[in-house]
Amino acid sequence: MKAASGDGYVRGAEDVCGKNDMHDVKNKPLFDPKVVHVHSLDLEEDVETELAEMQGRGIDINEFLREALKKRKENIEIEKTKLAEEQIEKCTRARDGSGQTENPQIKGVSAPSAGYMPVKIKKILTKEHGTKCSVPHCPKPAKTFHHTARFSLTYNHDPHFLAPLCEAHHEIAHKIDIKYVEAVKGSAEDFSAA
């Protein structure tokens, strides 16, 4: 039995089944590495050109990018620390004379509410995490900023303790918070009893 192969050669049955060319198949990659891309960057043409020119002049663009990324992280951390200090100061001004934060309202100064988050904080979190969920490898868009330090205890929007999450990961974050689950369950029981 003879069959036509993709390369135009006619081969015998043994060749079609791979009996004669097995040693060649073992040494060939499954995919051409030039065709398969695991990661790709969507660089604008001017950025790609400038990086190529830098590399052509002998500049290590990997080191350049590492330094730029490190500087970016440092700048974000500085901004987050500044915003956190502002939040703590605002919360401190809102405390009553005993220092309790149970009802943080004094002389017309109110503590931040969980529903309102300053735009500056949203911007720095978006600058740090982008528009996607902050859980590694989650490609879904972030729908909410989750307080990793429970807002009802801290009364502030410290960006060090906020994470942009998709709906599914936000739900998971609350389901693993036992005190939150108990509070919600208690509220539901109180509501149904009335």
| pTM of the predicted model as reported, rounded to 2 decimal places | 0.61
CA-CA distance, 159 to 84, in Å (whole number)? Answer: 6
Domain edges within the chain: 61-94+102-193
User: 12: closest CA among 22, 20, 2?
Assistant: 2
CA-CA distance, 28 to 41, in Å (whole number)? Answer: 28
Output the pLDDT for position 77.
Answer: 96
3-state secondary structure at position 141: strand
Supply 152's token pair. 């009802």
pLDDT band (50, 70, 90) for residue 126: very high
- Angle formed at CA 133 by CA 153 and CA 117, multiple of 5 degrees: 40
| Residues 130-184 pLDDT 10s | 999 999 999 999 999 999 888 877 778 899 999 999 999 999 998 887 766 676 6
Is the confidence at residue 189, as pLDDT, over 60?
Answer: no
Q: Work out the mean pLDDT of the chain and round it to a whole number.
A: 75
Output the pLDDT for position 112.
Answer: 54
Count of alpha carbons within 13 angstroms of residue 44, beta-carbon side? 2
Pick 176 or 48 by higher pLDDT: 48
